[in-house]
Amino acid sequence: MNSQREINIIYVGAGAVGCFYASRMVQGGGNVRVSMVCRSNYKAVKESGLTMQTRNFGDYHFIPHRVFPNVQVAASEGPDVAESASNSGKWDYVVVTTKALPDIVDESRTIAPIVSPPSPDGKFPGSIIVLIQNGVGVEHLHRERFPQNPIVSAVTVISAEQVSHGVVRQNRWTRISIGAFTDGIGDRLVSGDQKAKQLHKAGEDAVAELNNIWTAGGIKDVEMHDEKGLQLVRWHKLTINASMNPSAVLSGGTGNARMSLDAELRRHLQGVMDEIFAAAPSILGRPFPNSLATPEVILKSTERNTGSKPSMLLDWEADRPLELEVILGNPVRIARSKGVEMPRTQSLYALLKMAQTRKEERKKQQPNKQSKL
């Protein structure tokens, strides 16, 4: 990629994680322009930008290049690129940092107006889609809708929160793992699919460029992976999310530390983790690297994580949608398609899905009960 060109990046989703990584992209200076699609915090960010309170970089102010209330406005107005630019009016990167809820909203459809295809002359590889989201299988809808566009898959380890509209606090960690995506397994590359190889090459170029941008912005733990390596990182993060998050809800609101210290719950958590540790290498054809913590190490570390609740429990208590499919449903289906069964994970999925369904049914019945009083 030409490092001298103007790089126009748009973030869809202005929560704490998106705001943090967007803000670091411009700290290295140069030719990077970052715009954002905001929702509930649109007015605050549009008027005053973002106040960043960070443990790693101190306090600073981040003003996005442009701020949009929705994707449609971003599509109609564009990045305001100089007319002389070869990719005038197009977004080089579309970064999705929304919660992954494929059972509720198809984010590939949402971002379609701002995703441009490759140019016929080959000078513009197409808008590169970057997915900074939890779970596995989050890339598949995007690959189906945008078969010609490079995709970069990303996994973060960060503790951050938006304490008020336009004010973001980063508490701990900055790590982001990134890798190109073709089909998640690499089968299309092995089969000699030339279009897949071209997509993968464009994706790898994007991974290298993103690494340079974030590193210049001060993030020292950007990790670049090949396709299977990045998917192993996704599955490894799932060992925590798929075991602890649903168990916290189903156990009546129990925190991770207490669950890890309860003898029976600990056996349950390790059983789910061990299941994922066995399934992922079978699916991807590669073992977890030794650098990734084992279930025993994760549980030991969790014992000290007192006073905090997993994100799924917070969503459950606030009546927000759960990332049920990408954390539980997709892993079970992907494994099954490869002849691998995950009975413990499947049980959590079935129970929590029904619990969510029953909760929604009760909410719908509540107005009727009140109207009879």
- Give mean pLDDT in consecutive 10-residue pieces for the chain, a chain of 373 residues: 76 97 94 96 97 97 97 94 55 97 96 96 93 97 96 96 96 96 84 87 96 97 96 97 97 95 98 98 95 96 85 95 97 96 98 96 76 49
Check residue 368 and give its pLDDT: 61
Per DSSP, the chain holds a count of helices (H) and strands (E) of 15, 10
- What are the structural domain ranges in the chain? 7-225, 230-363
Q: Would you say the pTM of this structure is higher than 0.95?
A: no
CA distances from 241 to 43, 109, 197, 303, 362 (A): 33, 26, 32, 16, 27
- Domain 7-225 homologous superfamily, CATH: NAD(P)-binding Rossmann-like Domain (3.40.50.720)
CA distances from 235 to 17, 227, 324, 358 (A): 20, 13, 15, 29
- Domain range 230-363, its CATH number among 1.10.1040.10, 1.10.10.10, 3.40.220.10, 3.30.1360.70: 1.10.1040.10
Range list of β-strands (E), 76-232: 93-96, 128-132, 151-164, 167-181, 222-225
CA 41 to chain CA mean position, Å: 20
